[in-house]
A and B are shown apart, each in its own frame.
Chain A
Amino acid sequence: MEQPNLSYINNLSGGDKTFEAKLITIIKSEYPEEKAVYIKNIESNNFKEAAENVHKLKHKISILGLEKSYEVANDFEENLKEDRLAGKEDFEIILNTITNFLTTL
């Protein structure tokens, strides 16, 4: 299982620690909200809305350098658009990995 990293954020900041801290704070604030909305929609069988949530979460996944996970999320998003749940478990493992990573920052 690949692990999240801050390579993209570090490259983007060019060493600007203030920016890095600001962006991480925003991600730490925004990510749990997006994840909670996703879970709510999945639990309510609102698959189309959940697909929208996965779409938004994909950006966080890619920012944290999770390239393979991005593909998993992409496939899951497409499945949700067709009211299929294939890939849900793998996607939620990714979400939990990110949650754990963010607590370390």
Chain B
Amino acid sequence: MNCIIIDDEATARTIIEQLCTNVSSLNVLESFPNAMQAIKYLNQNEVDLIFLDIHMPDFTGFDFIQALKNPPKIILTTSDAQFAIEAFEYDCIVDYLVKPITLPRFEKSILKAESLASKPIANNSSSENEKTSSINDLYINIDRRLIKIDIPSIYLIEAKGDYINVKTEDKNYTVHSTLKKIEDKLPNDLFLKVHRSFIINVQKIIDIEDNSVLIKKDVIPVSRSNRPELMKRLNLL
């Protein structure tokens, strides 16, 4: 398996490189001190496995995973076990190694990765997020990080003063932006502004009653002027 190592600590990278020399099936292609350099590398190179430190400044291991469209298998490395629960949310994460990593534990982890080698993986557990077209992605700026959102997973956007609240299948994001700006970035056939404060994903509608729609557990008002367009979008019997 071709692998790369991402860790801001040189000591940690050196240790993992040494551990890899003990496993003949592993070929270390590169080591990176930060996630951004690794993303650039992955844009031009394919790897089978990434050893990824969670705790890095500016761009954490989890940020990195979310930035990848088709993540390879990932083994997390960390000094804390406290992130283990979050790690289980990602199908691409095959194991979780707590530093200092011992050779027996490392070898066990590689066996696990190899046993999963033929299985396809997604970057999270939601099958609805397995979109391939780049137009399906939207990057939002939160705390100076660009976080990728799978557009079809968005079901509701609500205006909140100078911010918008973007609700997806997995997470909610509060972004400093306007409904108008995000509306311009969304596909017209999927999203509709039903009220001056709400844009909905019409495919996520559960039911419609008078002047409101139910999406997930949110009841959203539909303004009188937007109702005809909403009705046009429906496949009415």
Contact residues of B between 68 and 124, Cβ < 8 Å to A: 79-80, 99-100, 102-103
Interface residue? B211 (CB, 8 A): no
Interface residue? B25 (CB, 8 A): no
Which residue, of A26, A29, A62, has the highest number of chain B Cβ atoms within 10 A?
A: A26
Majority SS at the chain B contact face: loop
Residue pair A56, B9 in contact (C-beta under 8 Å): yes
Docked Cα-Cα span, A59 to B22, in Å, equals 21
From the candidates B18, B79, B99, B103, name the one contacting A23 in the complex (CB within 8 A).
B18
Q: Is the interface on chain A under 10, 10 to 19, 20 to 34, or 35 or more residues?
A: 20 to 34
Q: Is the interface on chain B under 10, 10 to 19, 20 to 34, or 35 or more residues?
A: 10 to 19
- How many A-B contacts if CB must be within 8 Å? 48
Interfacial chain B residues near A27, Cβ < 8 Å: 11
Interface residue? A93 (CB, 8 A): no
Interface residue? A22 (CB, 8 A): yes
Residue pair A55, B18 in contact (C-beta under 8 Å): no
Interfacial chain B residues near A101, Cβ < 8 Å: none
Residue pair A23, B11 in contact (C-beta under 8 Å): yes
Interface residue? A15 (CB, 8 A): no
A1-45 to B contact mask, C-beta < 8 Å, 1/0: 000000010011110100100110011011000000000000000
Interfacial chain B residues near A30, Cβ < 8 Å: 9-11
Which residue, of A16, A23, A26, A59, has the highest number of chain B Cβ atoms within 10 A?
A: A59
Residue pair A26, B10 in contact (C-beta under 8 Å): yes
Residue pair B14, A23 in contact (C-beta under 8 Å): yes
Docked Cα-Cα span, A22 to B11, in Å, equals 10
A88 to chain B, nearest CB (A): 19
Docked Cα-Cα span, A30 to B10, in Å, equals 8
Docked Cα-Cα span, A62 to B99, in Å, equals 8
Docked Cα-Cα span, A12 to B18, in Å, equals 8
Docked Cα-Cα span, A26 to B80, in Å, equals 22
Interface residue? B49 (CB, 8 A): no
Residue pair A11, B103 in contact (C-beta under 8 Å): yes
Interface residue? B157 (CB, 8 A): no
Interfacial chain A residues near B14, Cβ < 8 Å: 22-23, 26
Interface residue? B15 (CB, 8 A): yes
Residue pair A63, B57 in contact (C-beta under 8 Å): no
Interfacial chain A residues near B79, Cβ < 8 Å: 55-56, 58-59, 62
A94 to chain B, nearest CB (A): 15
User: Which B residues lie at the A interface, using CB under 8 A?
Assistant: 8-12, 14-15, 18-19, 22, 55, 57, 79-80, 99-100, 102-103
Given contacts A63-B11, A63-B15, 16 further A-B contacts (CB under 8 A): A8-B100, A12-B19, A12-B103, A13-B18, A14-B22, A16-B18, A23-B11, A23-B15, A26-B11, A26-B14, A27-B11, A30-B9, A30-B11, A56-B79, A59-B12, A60-B11
